[in-house]
Structure 1
């Protein structure tokens, strides 16, 4: 199971959360532990596939791939904002297509009356 490491700007481990289940905003939830209120301006959440033998205060090694995006859950507000943005883009695209169709209809109508 994946393990989350919250590290500071000097790459020092601040918190270790084993068995990560999800990350929501500034909260990391594991099977038996969680951390919330994480200052994302001062720290970074890194999730890797394996558990390392490092603890608080140790330097986090650079060679591991961060897979934290796989555990990030969008909050309901973020989901609503994303849906509203998508709906707005689709409405604009629909309006553009309708305008093109109207223009084509006008052109075809003009050609019809030329005969």
Structure 2
């Protein structure tokens, strides 16, 4: 720290506990990273904080088609949510497939 501070203007902000949506907990075996708070904030943003979870949130046998349904009222919200979900896959790789399916239609989102 002293060598870095001699070269750069910096200050010590104590141990890391939450940064860029990732909570960091230090244990004797290493670091535990979690985005539970970040995921809760996403759900609150779209008014889904009371929804129940499911094991497989997408039908693996069906396909979505680009020209079905009506355009989203607010495509900016859809794109923002898709980006937030992409960031969430850093600590939740189990939702990568579903998030990828959501991102396929970001250019022309429909409901």
User: Which TM-score band applies after superposition, normalised by the shorter structure?
Assistant: under 0.3
Q: More strand by proportion, 1 or 2?
A: 1
Structure with larger Rg: 1
